Structure 1
Amino acid sequence: MQEERKNKAKAAKNEVLGSETVFEKIRDRTPWVFGKTFRKPKILFPALKKPRMGIPLPGKSIAVIGVYIILFLLQTGIVYLIFREVPALGTNQDGSLMFLYPDLNESFIIEGIVASIFIFLCSIGFVLLYQASKFVYNKSVAVKYLVVGILLILASFITLQAMITIKLGQTLFNV
């Protein structure tokens, strides 16, 4: 009876290509190494209780908010601002305020913060585009997410391009 079961199991495995394990392939080709008594041991490990932490852990949303805060700080160029000790605002020869430093390789603090806000808004736009894909069956919500996401991306892109154009000393609109 047991031989019939083994033969059926072996026949079923032979019918399916690739169902044979590596060990079975080696054992069939080299019977003198493994023999018929070599088998995989069954080890029963004791069920140990893992120690649990007594303090509650924060949720995933807190971690995501923390990552976004760190990302925002890095985008502002906080390392550059700390080491270079740049001024917050500047003035030109006329005495009027300048928000954008006229050189491409330098910046004021306010300029870095404003650019970081727009980069952050652009990343929120991409997150909204991703969220729109989750509302496949609710088309009106998906379209709202798509429109707001695309508007955020375009607005931040156009604003950042305008900032770079002004920094280079060119006219904003070549009309």
Structure 2
Amino acid sequence: MGPGRARGLLTALELLRADAARDARLDFGLLQRWQRHVLGTEEPPPLRSRPAFAKGGRERYGIGPGIRARLDSCLAESACDAARPLPLTARAARAYLDVCFFHPFDDGNARAAFLTLVFVLAREGIALDGVSLLRRIAFRADEPRDPLVLASYIDTHLTETRRRAAAPA
């Protein structure tokens, strides 16, 4: 990653943490705000308007009426809900994969998904001290075990972060 991209990602992370601290609602508008810095653009990037392809064309992400509302609805489910209690790791994994598979931007969707995952954790007061497993993986839309693998990776990072925090210096 070049210095410009790294600065953009760090700026997006700062915004993300501030948004999490104020318990912002996770939606496409919030992703756009972060993505503007990730991509280094003057304006927030728009929702893509054409089908997108990934993994050498093996995966296709469609476009249709109501896609933004559907994405916003899915992202809203990342919030803690007493009526529907899901573990934090499941909510973080789901939000990450929603961004991956809605593929809302023409560019930078993997980074947007990563920021989404970090936001879901930060909103619950959690900051990971490492993300190596989370930054070097790819998931397939048609692989039913991938969400479980991602939730397991998130749990591994949470466990390691807590272990290191509890260890004597």
Q: What TM-score, normalized to structure 2?
A: 0.24
Q: Which has the higher contact order (CA 8 A, sep 6+)?
A: 2
